[in-house]
Structure formats: C-alpha cells, structure tokens
Amino acid sequence: MTVLTDVLLVDPKWILDSLGDAVISIDLEGRVSFANSAAISLSEHDFGRGLAVATFLPFVDVGGESIFVEGFSVSGSDMLLSGALLPHTGDCQYTIKIRDVTDGDGDVVGRSISVLKDSLAAAVHYGDGESHLDPLTELMGRQEFERRLENLVNDAASSSRTHALLYIDIDQFKLINDTSGHVAGDNLIKSIADCLQTELFIGDMLCRLGGDEFGVLLSNVDSFEARSIANRLIKAIKRMHFVWSGISHNTSISIGVVLIDENTSDRESVMSQADVAMYSAKEDGRGRVHLYDKNDKKLSRLHDDMDWVHRINMALAADDFCLVTERIMPLVDENNRTTTFKELLVRMRYNGEMLRPGQFMPAAERFGLMPQIDRWVIKNFFNYLQRNTEINNQDVMFSINISGQSLCQEAFLEFVYRCLRRGNVNPEIICFEITETVAITNFSVVTRFIHRVHELGGKFALDDFGTGMSSFGYLQELPVDFVKIDGLFVHDMDKNPVHEAMVRSINDISHVLGKRTIAEFVERQEVFDQLQLMGVDYAQGYLHGRPTDLIDLSSLVT
C-alpha cells in the first residue's frame, strides 16, 4: 500500500460535518470514536462509540479482501488505498487515507481515516499503474482537484457558504532547477508539499496542479480567514531550509487567493482569477499573497495579458508564427558594406489576422515566454537556410533579435551555438541583436556570448542605443559589430537639433571604436539624406518599404 499522510486535528464537529468526504477517528483497538455525517451516511449501521471500524465500514479491495479486519489498529504504517469498495454501495469506488494521530508528546493515541469518493471509479484500479495521485508528492492531482473545486462552486451557488482557492507557485523554481538539476527541483517540490501539508487542517485539500504549482481548497471560510491561512503558508515556507549538494537555497512561494461565493460563475473562471492573483503576488515582490478583486484595474490588465499567454502558447503549439524581413539600406557605398542586410521580424497568426509584435510581445515578456519565441525564430530560420543553401554564398546578412530572458538561459545559448554549427548554414551571414539595456544589465553573460559567436564568424548588433542605460564607456567594452541608433532620436532629427546632435555623437564615437551604425525609424527622405551626409552606415525604416514575407528568394538580391 502507498504511504501518505493526513493529519487529524481537533476541529468543531460542525466543520467536519460540512465536508463532503467521510472522516472517522478510531482508537488503538480499532473502535470508532468519531464519525462525521458523510461517514455515517456510508454505513449500514447507526453510529455508536466503540463500534469496530471493520463493522461500521466493511471496505474491501478490488480482490474482495477486507481492508479493516477485526481489531484493526496497527500504527506506524500510514497508507493510502485507491479503488476500495463497500459491498452494499455497488460499484462505487473510494480512496482511503489512514494516518496515526499523536498527542503532544508524539505518542500514538489513535488513527484518522478519510474516505474520498472516487470520481474516476470505472477507470482507476489499484495496482494497474493508473492513479489520480501525483507520484512525486503523493498529493491528489489536478483531476481530483478540479472535481472538488466544481463541488465547492456548486455548493456556494446553492447556499450561503463561501469557500476559497489558494493558487500557489514556487518562486524562482527554475533557477534552482537549472543551477542544481532536476533531482534537486523534484526534492524541493516534495519538501514544500510536505511543509504545506503540515500547516493545513483536515478538510483543507492540498493538490499538486503540475510543475511547481499547488492548489488548496478551503471550505467555509471568508476572505479574512483565507488570507490568514495563505500568510501562514508563506511564513512556513520562508522558515524552511532547503539544502542540496551543500548549497542552501532560500525558499518562498507566491499565493493568489480567490473567494468562491454565490457570484462565482464556474470552475474555469475561479482558476483563471487565481492565476491572475498569483502572478500579481509575484509582481508585487514574490513571497506574497494577493486576493483577487474584480474591481482591481491592475488585475484586469493582468487578466488581459494572461489571455495572450494562452494564445501565444496555442500559436507555438500550432506553429502559427511566421517570419518577415525588413530591409536595412546601406548609406555609404564602400566595398566593405554588405549589399543586402535584413532584420528578421516575427508575426503571430490569430483569428485570421497577422499580429504585430507590439500586440503579443508585452505579454510574452511579462510571463517569460520570450525564450520559446526566440527558439522558434532561430530554429525556423535556420531550417529555411538549410533548405535554401544558395543563400549562404550571397552577399547578405540577416539580423535576429534575442531577448534578455533568453540571454539569461545557458541552455538557450547552447542551443544557438548548436544551430550555428549546423551544416549548410554560414554563420557569417548571421547577426544577433540585443538591446542596450539587456547588454549592460547582463554584461558578463553577453560579452561571453558575443565572443563565442564571433569565433564561429557571426556578428552582433547593439539595439536601441541611446535611450536605456546608455554609456559610451560600456560601448567601448562591448565587442559588438553594429550600433543601432534609437529611432526616438532619428525620426525627427532634421527638425530637432538636440536629436541631430545625439545621432551625430553616437555615430562619431561608434566609428572611432570601429563599429558600424544603423539608424532606425527612417521614414522620410529628408532624414535619409541627412544621415547619409553625416556618414551613418545604414538606414532602416518604412521609407524603403515595409516588412515582407520570408518567401521570395529573389527579394534577397533586389
């Protein structure tokens, strides 16, 4: 039998009677000392103290063997059994959880038994490898959680009772997973599950929803009680010491709280609101609790962004992105200038429309989806180059944007190196773009990455220079090949003398440092002419055409 824990604490009888699941207490001789209403309803006998549990609830396993034998009282062997049957209830199956109950000195004084009706009765059989329990934590999994949540929503709609959902996410779990390995990550999840379990009362249902996420369902609580319990969980995890391979890790969780009342529409809306509240707790600084409030404008905006997360994930799964290119025009006609220079841009298909980056990128950046999009761009473009090997021998260059989130992942950088080393791809026609702010914030990582790409023949461009944390000192240290002058200064430089001076300064210093310059947002001929007179190397903008699909090979040499 599988080991699991289920703590019995002394709670008011009315709380236990309000639960939909059976709760029973037995003494050391296996006699029933307490049974809630749900347990009594399962039995063929009237409840009376001293009745043997094997008589009160004569459960058998799928093989027909009795689970509670006469005198059942063995302690020290906590267990869980799925697929249990009560002969007089027909084919209904149950999950039984049993645990010792100890006093203040740690001595065993009895046992607690919880009986949960199995909603997957026809499909789940003990021993056949199928179970709705999470194998790592031995907590109930998402399917059972959603069934219980549905019950609470229905109960709130038909009564005056209110319930709550706590949506829990481990803070910076990926960092521990990446630095110490997946075994460490699994052990952290198990440790946090155990810690959360000890802080909850019987009737509070803790489930693992997947990955590093947990859910807690609280029955008959108001918003104050729900927040208090959530704060208790936050403090318990902060006190926890997690050490792996001699390294001590700080632990914290963020919790989104949603109250389930008569106005709650359905289970899906509760989960969506909880997700939004949890992310808001993270944005507030992690290790915090956030209660969902439909009138909170910040949560409303966050909810909209999270809708985009779902759309982006669907687009990634369905391959609903596409690549377009925007021409970067040479301004100085010299032999060492690339004839054709194009920046790769990504678009997303949604509801028959082609969405621009400004419509989905903010949500992708906010919720950490940029590495997945960056990988899609690089993978698909390099596949394109392998299918069209003649491009490798042309006088062209393609510029590919890389986000700050991707640059912070060693696995992503290794992915880029592998792509550059693939056959039938010439690294010399590839230029990676990173923004000025990202480069300076992650200076050592970026510098190392640039050097490795240079070793393979690739190039680098520093994007949006002049608006972020601009420093010519950093520019001197960063071994980039191109400096892209931010369009904020370029678009009206023919009318704004301050912006003209900024463009001139960036261009002159970049040239002194041996770097070529690209002016962004060039949309008028007057600006183009002024940039050419100034000696800027390239111009990019709608003056010479809007982005076009990466399909027509002839466009590469026009």
Which residues, in sequence order, are bridge partners of residue 324? Answer: 345, 549
Which residues, in sequence order, are bridge partners of residue 216? Answer: 166, 206
Q: What is the mean pLDDT of residues 89-110?
A: 73
Tell me: pLDDT of 345 over 60.
yes
Q: What is the mean pLDDT of residues 327-355?
A: 83
Tell me: pLDDT of 2 over 90.
no
The confidence score (pLDDT) of residue 250 equals 85
For the chain, report the end-to-end CA distance as a whole number of angstroms. Answer: 72
The confidence score (pLDDT) of residue 73 equals 57
Best mean pLDDT range from 263-272, 317-326, 327-336:
317-326
Q: Which residue has the higher pLDDT, 65 or 20?
A: 65
Among 1-5, 57-61, 346-350, name the one with the lowest average pLDDT.
1-5
Which residues, in sequence order, are bridge partners of residue 435? Answer: 463
Q: What is the mean pLDDT of residues 494-504?
A: 94
Residue 335, CB-side half-sphere exposure with 13 Å CA sphere? 0
- d(CA 23, CA 204) in angstroms, rounded, equals 13
Question: Which residue, 188, 274, 170, is CA-closest to 226?
Answer: 274
Tell me: pLDDT of 170 over 90.
yes
Question: Mean pLDDT of all residues in the chain?
Answer: 81
pTM of the model as a whole: 0.56
pLDDT band of 1, cuts 50, 70, 90: very low
- % the chain with pLDDT above 90: 33
- Residue 262, by phi and psi: left (phi above 0), alpha (psi -120 to 50) or beta? alpha
The confidence score (pLDDT) of residue 351 equals 86
Please, what sign has the CA dihedral across residues 10, 12, 14, 20?
negative
Query: Which DSSP state fits 88?
Result: G
For the chain, domains (ranges, CATH) are 1-131 (3.30.450.20), 133-294 (3.30.70.270), 318-557 (3.20.20.450)
The confidence score (pLDDT) of residue 294 equals 74
Tell me: pLDDT of 271 over 50.
yes
pLDDT digits (tens, 9 = 90+) for 356-372: 888 888 888 877 889 99
The confidence score (pLDDT) of residue 8 equals 39
Q: What is the mean pLDDT of residues 122-148?
A: 66
The confidence score (pLDDT) of residue 389 equals 86
Per-residue three-class SS string for 312-326: HHHHHHHCCEEEEEE
